[in-house]
Amino acid sequence: MKALDLIKIMKLNIAPIIIGIIIGIILGVAFYLMYVYIFHESSSEFYLFAGLALLGSPLVGSIITSLMVNEDRHILLLISGSSVLLILIVLSVLAYLVLPLFFYESVQLPASYIDTDSNSSSYTPSYLNYSIPGIGTGRLITSDNNSAVVVMSEYDHSPYASTVYLINKSSNGILMSLNFNNDIIAAAIDQGTLNIFNDKIGYYINTENGEFVKTIVRFDNYRGLFMSDNNEYMQTTFETSFLNADGSVGSHRQMYMNCTAFGCFIIGSTGQVIE
């Protein structure tokens, strides 16, 4: 079929196409809202609702269009269904990748502590001290019932090279460690995964065995340190969506990040900066 013939068909049948597209989009958005607000973005229901939204909705839109025309149904069905699918994919990108970039919390760092050696002693409250046998005492940046994440930084000179240890609480054994050339670190544990950033570079670690989580695709909104109005800020919240190699998924996983930067310790949930 020539392109001109296709355009003529579309002009003659534009109303059924539009109706099918609108119904398909409404249905897809309804499935997404149901997944978010009724099932609270549960991992176990993700594939079901993704299939309903991205496959079922275009199919319904196509069927609606085809039922309203008497000829060239296969062409109009294809146009309607592919349009619904494309629009829903664009909306998904906006929901999972673009919108989270505008919703986060941050804390302004004290100007006197930025990039200076004035805090070389780096005061640490006793409740943040965590002793690692054979290694020394560091700062407990985050923990859960089974794991502790401890940062040890060299505060005798900037940029404060650091080592992060993932420790099994029951055995007090080190599962893994990461070395960084500064102390710009943010961390949080969520459902058995340690999410840790060295400024803007993220690492995702299984807290049970200390191995890196194998990820197929992951979106997050973490930007680490950033400048605004000549002031330095540290982002303290984190949102991520992912599909891992083992088939597990996370949809809009949100968490507070405890942070260290330039000798300061930042409690993400309260925004308190401990100098």
Task: Please state whether 243 falls in left (phi above 0), alpha (psi between -120 and 50) or beta.
Answer: beta
Q: What is the pLDDT of residue 115?
A: 47
pLDDT of residue 114: 47
User: Is residue 119 located within the same domain as residue 219?
Assistant: yes
pTM above 0.95, yes or no: no
Residues 91 and 131 in one domain: no
CA angle 148, 140, 135 (to 5 degrees): 80
CB 207 within 8 A of CB 144: yes
Quick one: 162 and 209 in the same domain?
yes
Last residue of a domain, one of 100, 123, 140: 100
Same domain membership, residue 19 and residue 137: no
Tell me if 219 is assigned to some domain.
yes
* Arithmetic mean of pLDDT over the chain: 88
At residue 112, the pLDDT reads 61
Tens digits of per-residue pLDDT, 151-199? 999 888 778 899 999 999 999 999 999 999 999 999 999 999 999 999 9
Residue 60 lies in a domain: yes
- How many separate domains does the chain show? 2
Domain range holding 36?
Answer: 3-100
Claim to verify: residue 77 and residue 185 sit in the same structural domain: no
End-of-domain residue from the set 68, 100, 132? 100
Question: Tens digit of pLDDT for each residue in 202-241?
Answer: 999 999 999 999 999 999 999 999 988 888 999 999 999 9
Judgement on whether residues 155 and 64 belong to the same structural domain of the protein: no
Among 70, 100, 130, where does a domain finish?
Answer: 100
Q: What is the DSSP letter of 242?
A: E
- pLDDT at residue 121 greater than cutoff 80: no
Q: What is the pLDDT at residue 13?
A: 66
Q: Tell me, yes or no, whether 41 and 78 share the same domain.
A: yes
Residue 27 clears pLDDT 80, i.e. is over it: yes
The answer to whether position 105 is within a domain reads: no
Q: Which of 4-13, 44-53, 73-82 has the lowest mean pLDDT?
A: 4-13
Does 153 share its domain with 255? yes
Strand 185-190 relative to strand 258-261: parallel, antiparallel, unpaired? Answer: antiparallel
Asked whether residue 249 is domain-assigned, the answer is: yes
